[in-house]
């Protein structure tokens, strides 16, 4: 890809991330994005059909950053504490992605993340598809865990993983997973 195009796409991305950290994504306009990225609107529309296309691309990148290199999926059922520790460490790979979790779109992003994790876990445990409650347990745990991180920042990452891992183990046991 041409270096100028790479630079333009990077500028658009960085400008959007900067704006999304300042205000809700739904309030960002193409005009202000272009002003921040130092491009004109025609250049933006050359690369993206609309802002939603850019957001979806950023969401996909974020999920791939978190789960793309996931080599610990099997730990969800065998060692939830280690699974959580590694998952939270993978969140740190893309610290700019936190803005994507805010607002209405955050739920959609969580569902993308759950689907990606589910696929990885099912590759490690193909029989998990046949266990009633396994999907519910994963969904319940991922949504719950997403709230634990910000709420309990005072605890170390290891302590959060330990406490939340115990809770997940209890849920998995309850669902007989």
For 117-149, how does the pLDDT look when each residue is reduced to its tens digit (9 = 90+)? Answer: 888 888 878 887 777 778 888 887 777 777 776
Query: Is 40 in the same domain as 83?
Result: no
The larger pLDDT score, comparing residue 160 to residue 90, is at: 160
For 50-66, how does the pLDDT look when each residue is reduced to its tens digit (9 = 90+)? Answer: 999 999 898 888 888 77
Lowest mean per-residue pLDDT among 14-23, 99-108, 114-123, 125-134:
99-108
Give the burial class of 111: count Cβ atoms within 10 A of its Cβ; 0-12 exposed, 13-18 middle, 19 or more buried. middle
Q: What is the mean pLDDT of residues 90-106?
A: 69
- Calculate the alpha carbon distances from 149 to 132, 134, 175 in Å: 28, 23, 24
Query: Is 68 in the same domain as 124?
Result: yes
Question: How much is the pTM?
Answer: 0.74
Number of domains forming the structure of the chain: 2
Tell me if 53 is assigned to some domain: no
Query: Is 40 in the same domain as 65?
Result: no
Tell me if 14 is assigned to some domain: yes
Q: Which two tokens stand for residue 116?
A: 């990606």
Q: Which residues contact 23 (CB under 8 A, 6 or more apart)?
A: none
Task: Place 10 in a pLDDT band, splitting at 50, 70 and 90.
Answer: very high
The larger pLDDT score, comparing residue 98 to residue 3, is at: 3
Q: What is the mean pLDDT of residues 6-15?
A: 94
For 149-161, how does the pLDDT look when each residue is reduced to its tens digit (9 = 90+)? Answer: 677 888 888 888 8
Query: Is 133 in the same domain as 163?
Result: yes
The CATH number given to whatever domain includes residue 20 is 1.10.10
Smallest CA-to-CA distance from 168 within 129, 148, 138 is with 138
Q: What is the pLDDT of residue 117?
A: 84
Mean pLDDT estimate for the chain: 83
Domain that holds residue 44: 3-48
Tell me if 113 is assigned to some domain: yes
Query: Is 39 in the same domain as 94?
Result: no
> Is the Cα torsion angle 120, 121, 127, 132 positive or negative in sign?
negative
Q: What is the pLDDT of residue 8?
A: 94
What number of CA atoms fall less than 13 Å from residue 97's CA on the CB side? 22
Query: Is 88 in the same domain as 33?
Result: no
Tell me if 169 is assigned to some domain: yes
Q: What is the pLDDT of residue 70?
A: 66
Q: Can you tell me the distance from the alpha carbon of 177 to that of 161, in angstroms, rounded to the nearest whole number?
A: 20
Query: Is 19 in the same domain as 99?
Result: no
Query: Is 125 in the same domain as 43?
Result: no
Tell me if 8 is assigned to some domain: yes
């Amino acid at each position: 890809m041409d270096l100028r195009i790479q630079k333009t796409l990077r500028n658009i991305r960085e400008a959007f991330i900067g704006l999304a950290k300042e205000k809700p994504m739904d309030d960002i306009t193409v005009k202000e994005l272009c002003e921040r990225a130092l491009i004109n609107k025609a250049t933006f529309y050359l690369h993206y059909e609309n802002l939603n296309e850019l957001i979806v691309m950023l969401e996909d990148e974020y999920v791939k950053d978190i789960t793309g290199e996931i080599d610990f999926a099997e730990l969800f059922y065998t060692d939830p504490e280690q699974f959580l520790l590694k998952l939270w460490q993978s969140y740190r790979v893309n610290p700019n992605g936190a803005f994507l979790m805010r607002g209405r779109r955050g739920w959609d992003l969580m569902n993308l993340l759950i689907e990606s994790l589910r696929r990885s876990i099912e590759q490690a445990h193909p029989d998990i598809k046949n266990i009633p409650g396994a999907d519910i347990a994963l969904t319940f745990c991922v949504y719950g865990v997403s709230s634990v991180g910000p709420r309990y920042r005072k605890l170390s990452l290891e302590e959060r993983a330990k406490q939340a891992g115990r809770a997940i183990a209890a849920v998995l046991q309850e669902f007989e997973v």
